[in-house]
């Protein structure tokens, strides 16, 4: 013989029990909403910390890469004589729309260097897009030959070759020093 289950409604319960369940339900709902707010707040805080760490680490890697780059490119026949770091391009509303990590210049040539701790393919793809817009973003260089370069402490497997095939100079560390890894047959892409 089976039993049939029934669910009591608040009106069928003693008043004290119905009121207690309603208060418990309201408390649980409020707790869940507070948990979601706290979770969003913690995600924001963690993202801020991650961004701070990434930004500071990026500045350190740029500081390691930049000092020798002028001489490296002079050895390759690109007679740059000045370097700049962290060039930001803003739109008319003052919003940063592009950032170039290192720019080397002379009267006729510019080398733009993208610096990462670990270089990945999507970094290079993004950089190539930024390079395509460089003369629009930095019109003071529109009459110069523009070259691109990537520099990293490490490269994901095959990514240095990917950069090379896309016409970019590849800068790597070698016994604590930065060097251009491209062979003498390399012909850089010009923008």
Mean pLDDT of 49-64: 64
Containing structural domain, residue 104: 68-180
126, 95 Cβ separation under 8 angstroms: no
121, 159 Cβ separation under 8 angstroms: yes
Determine, yes or no, domain membership for 117: yes
Higher pLDDT, 158 or 59: 158
Tell me the pLDDT tens digit for each residue of 80-133.
Answer: 999 998 889 888 899 999 999 999 999 999 999 999 988 999 999 999 999 999
CATH number at residue 151: 3.40.1350.10
Give CA separation, 41 vs 30, 47, 50, 165, in Å. Answer: 16, 10, 14, 43
For position 99, what pLDDT does the model report?
92
For position 134, what pLDDT does the model report?
95
Highest mean pLDDT of the ranges 7-11, 41-45, 77-81: 77-81
Query: For residue 175, is it left (φ>0), alpha (ψ between -120 and 50) or beta?
Result: left
Would you place residue 57 in the very low, low, confident or very high pLDDT band (cuts 50, 70, 90)?
A: low
Determine, yes or no, domain membership for 6: no
Cut 0.75: pTM above it: no
Determine, yes or no, domain membership for 94: yes
For position 3, what pLDDT does the model report?
54
For position 51, what pLDDT does the model report?
63
Determine, yes or no, domain membership for 40: no
d(CA 68, CA 64): 9
Question: 64 - beta bridge partners?
Answer: none
Dihedral sign, Cα of residue 68, residue 73, residue 77, residue 83 = negative
d(CA 116, CA 96): 19
Distance from chain centroid for Cα 136: 21
Give CA separation, 8 vs 16, 71, 151, in Å. Answer: 14, 83, 69
Percent of the chain residues past pLDDT 70, beyond the cut: 87
- Check residue 107 and report its DSSP letter: S
Determine, yes or no, domain membership for 171: yes
Determine, yes or no, domain membership for 55: no
Determine, yes or no, domain membership for 174: yes
Determine, yes or no, domain membership for 121: yes
How many domains would you assign to the chain?
1
pLDDT at 76 over 80: yes
> Measured at the alpha carbon of residue 170, what is the angle toward residues 166 and 174, in degrees to the nearest 5?
160
């Amino acid at each position: 013989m089976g039993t049939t289950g029934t669910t009591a409604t608040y009106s069928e319960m003693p008043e004290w029990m119905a009121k207690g369940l309603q208060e418990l339900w309201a408390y649980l709902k409020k707790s869940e909403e507070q948990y979601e707010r706290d979770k969003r707040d913690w995600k924001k805080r963690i993202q801020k910390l991650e961004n701070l760490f990434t930004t500071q680490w990026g500045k350190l890697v740029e500081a390691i890469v930049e000092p020798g780059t002028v001489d490296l490119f002079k050895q390759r026949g690109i007679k740059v004589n000045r370097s700049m770091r962290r060039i930001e391009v803003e739109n008319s509303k003052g919003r940063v729309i592009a950032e170039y990590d290192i720019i080397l210049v002379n009267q006729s040539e510019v080398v733009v260097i993208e610096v990462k701790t670990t270089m990945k393919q999507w970094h290079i793809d993004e950089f190539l897009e930024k390079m395509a817009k460089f003369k629009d973003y930095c019109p003071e260089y529109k009459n110069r030959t523009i070259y691109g370069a990537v520099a990293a402490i490490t490269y994901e497997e095959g990514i240095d070759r990917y950069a090379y095939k896309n016409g970019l100079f590849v800068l790597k560390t070698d016994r604590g020093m930065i060097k251009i890894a491209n062979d003498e047959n390399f012909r850089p892409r010009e923008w």
